[in-house]
Amino acid sequence: MFGKRVSETQTKKIVSSAPPISEKPTIEERTDPSIDTFLKKNQKISVTEAPRKNKKPASSKSEEYLKVKSTIFNALIDTIDLTQLVALERDIAREEISDIISEIFEIKNVVMSTTEQEELLDDICNDVLGYGPLEPLLARDDIADIMVNGANSTFIEVNGKTIKTNVHFTDNEQLMNICQRIVSQVGRRVDESSPICDARLPDGSRVNVIAPPLAIDGPSLTIRKFKKDSLTLNQLVSFGSISPEGGEILEIIGRTRCNVLVSGGTGSGKTTLLNCLSACIEKDERIITCEDSAELQMQQPHVVRLETRPANLEGEGLITMRDLVKNCLRMRPERIIVGEVRGPEAFDLLQAMNTGHDGSMGTLHANSPREAISRVESMILMGGYALPAKTIREMIVGSVDVIVQAARLRDGSRRITHIAEVIGMEGDIVTLQNIFVYEITGEDPNSGKLLGRHRSTGITRPRFFEKAEYYNQEKQLMRALAKSEVQDIDGSILGEING
């Protein structure tokens, strides 16, 4: 079953129909020709021939350990077909590998303590069955991103800070094999002819691979770790990403069916925020989500999750975000949630917002609410719609109620920096009004952490006040806004900061 370099019947004896451990023949008893070939190739030394005193101990993680590991690993892949081995359940596959490695130990005259053997087995199993040196990083919950830039350079993001790790791959080939394994799980291939690939790990983590020749210094792998328990609004409040009153305003925005764009830079927390906002949606609403890689974790019962599809190797079968959003409209949605708006689907989302699907939401990459507006405009123009800029802007004004801005600040902290409203047009320009902002007030000289505060801009009746009234949320809204006001030394309420 696992025959690779040897015939199927031969390998069956080695692995798949291997008897239970207790019944297994010893290495001397075996007549298996594949082992024989293997032994010849590796200068067979039988157990009896090898006097113990000649055996070399291997030191852990030293160069010698790596040498031993590489020898054992090469012997292992010469003996079995790994692609079939990985199809087995992990425990069973591990047992098989363990058996073979024990035999190889004997043949190769390697002496290792049980702990060292276990460690080596773990390492090899990680390489063969999992993601090799990435496994320990993948197992950690505190890591947000893993960024591998070739075999010798791996960075992680922890608590908003990017740190270099001491994770190394044997070489770019090992790294490429791991990339290959990851993308093959979603039926894709990454190689010189198709060097860019998006994929997802079984745990939901989002993966991008870009391989040589496009990535000059070796394969580059970027993983956005999936958090099983997505952050909640309360947690964002406890981290200081938003004040409790700001959190309440966001809840009201989510509940009262405002059309929302969440704007922010890469990794600023847009998806997390969208998830938090969507948690405020009532349980009886029909929600349709469209994503490139399903990250949103909706808690409501009536949800249809849609995911785009890249073209296959023949270049066919592409389903774009636009296809999904357009199709959504025929699915009787009450709310449409678009994971990331990055192209002409912006037009369809605005249309949906405009045509009775109030409370629709999406994220986009932009550094301020003002920039978010121009991004939407250019996404629509890039889609080939021959509409005058003013018409597009009017469409934006008629569709989007609120823009929530997320940012990752230079101290690594993530904050909600603006809650802004789209209030209308002045001439050809879309008018925005910040109702809630984050202000940096200083920096802690010891920790380097930025100091700041969230505050309202003194606006007591935002444009969505009517919606709040309609949903009986106006009192909470007024209270949260009033409580967030800050006065200057003269007692006047601090006003708006431009978005």
Taking phi over 0 as left and psi of -120 to 50 as alpha, with beta for the rest, 266 belongs to beta
Alpha-carbon span 68 to 120, nearest angstrom: 9
Opening angle at CA 339, ends 296 and 225, nearest 5:
50
Number of helical (H) and strand (E) elements in the chain, helices listed first: 17, 17
405-434 residues in contact with ligand ATP (CB under 6 A) are: 414
227 binds ligand ATP (CB under 6 A): yes
Which pair of structure tokens corresponds to residue 200?
A: 């997802």
Cβ proximity to ligand ATP: between 152 and 413 the closer is 413
Q: Nearest distance from residue 266's CB to ligand ATP, in Å?
A: 4
Cβ proximity to ligand ATP: between 152 and 230 the closer is 230
369 binds ligand ATP (CB under 6 A): no
Q: According to CB under 5 A, which one of 220, 271, 278, 293 is a site residue for Mg ion?
A: 271
* DSSP percent split of the chain into helix, strand, coil, nearest 5: 35, 20, 40
231 binds ligand ATP (CB under 6 A): yes
224 binds ligand ATP (CB under 6 A): yes
Per DSSP, what are the bridge partners of residue 403?
261, 420
268 binds Mg ion (CB under 5 A): no
Q: Nearest distance from residue 339's CB to Mg ion, in Å?
A: 7
Alpha-carbon span 450 to 410, nearest angstrom: 8
Q: According to CB under 6 A, which one of 3, 264, 362, 499 is a site residue for ligand ATP?
A: 264
Q: Where are the alpha helices (DSSP H) in 283-336?
A: 321-328
Which pair of structure tokens corresponds to residue 184?
A: 């093959």
Q: What is the DSSP string of 207-224?
A: EEEE-TTTSTTS-EEEEE
Locus of tokens 């409790």? 244
Q: Nearest distance from residue 273's CB to Mg ion, in Å?
A: 9
Cβ proximity to ligand ATP: between 108 and 224 the closer is 224
204 binds ligand ATP (CB under 6 A): no
Q: Nearest distance from residue 200's CB to Mg ion, in Å?
A: 13
SS3 of residue 244 by DSSP:
helix
Q: Nearest distance from residue 274's CB to Mg ion, in Å?
A: 8
Cβ proximity to ligand ATP: between 272 and 360 the closer is 272
Cβ proximity to ligand ATP: between 236 and 287 the closer is 236
Q: According to CB under 6 A, which one of 205, 268, 289, 308 is a site residue for ligand ATP?
A: 268
Number of Cβ within a 10 Å radius of residue 456: 27
Instruction: Count Cα atoms within 13 angstroms, Cβ side, for 8.
Output: 2
Q: Nearest distance from residue 270's CB to Mg ion, in Å?
A: 5
Which part of the chain contacts ligand ATP (CB under 6 A), choosing from 208-216, 261-269, 371-379, 459-467? 261-269
Cβ proximity to ligand ATP: between 96 and 291 the closer is 291
Cβ proximity to ligand ATP: between 271 and 399 the closer is 271
Q: What is the DSSP string of 149-165?
A: ESTT-EEEEETTEEEE-
Cβ proximity to ligand ATP: between 163 and 331 the closer is 163
Cβ proximity to ligand ATP: between 103 and 295 the closer is 295
Q: Nearest distance from residue 339's CB to ligand ATP, in Å?
A: 8
Of 113, 116, 18, give the one whose Cα is nearest residue 66.
116
Which part of the chain contacts ligand ATP (CB under 6 A), choosing from 251-259, 265-273, 370-378, 487-495? 265-273
Determine the size of the site formed for ligand ATP (CB under 6 A).
16
236 binds ligand ATP (CB under 6 A): yes
Alpha-carbon span 241 to 233, nearest angstrom: 9
Q: Nearest distance from residue 295's CB to Mg ion, in Å?
A: 6
Which part of the chain contacts ligand ATP (CB under 6 A), choosing from 128-136, 259-267, 397-405, 482-490? 259-267
Encoded one letter per residue, x for contact with ligand ATP by CB under 6 A and - for no contact, window 115-154 reads -----------------------------x----------
Determine the size of the site formed for Mg ion (CB under 5 A).
2
Q: Are 233 and 250 in contact (CB under 8 A)?
A: yes
Strand stretches in 332-374, DSSP E: 335-338, 361-365
Q: Are 281 and 493 in contact (CB under 8 A)?
A: no
SS3 of residue 287 by DSSP:
strand
Alpha-carbon span 353 to 398, nearest angstrom: 9
30-49 residues in contact with ligand ATP (CB under 6 A) are: none
Q: What is the DSSP string of 415-427?
A: EEEEEEEEEEEET
Closest residue by beta carbon to ligand ATP: 269
Cβ proximity to ligand ATP: between 91 and 229 the closer is 229
Alpha-carbon span 457 to 436, nearest angstrom: 6
Q: Nearest distance from residue 382's CB to ligand ATP, in Å?
A: 19
Say which residues have a Cβ less than 8 Å from residue 468's Cβ, sequence separation at least 6. 252, 256, 474, 476, 477
- State residue 134 phi and psi, 5-degree precision: -80, -20
Residues making contact with ligand ATP (CB under 6 A): 144, 224, 227, 231, 236, 239, 241, 264, 266-272, 414
Residues of the shown chain interacting with Mg ion in the complex, contacts defined by CB under 5 A: 270-271
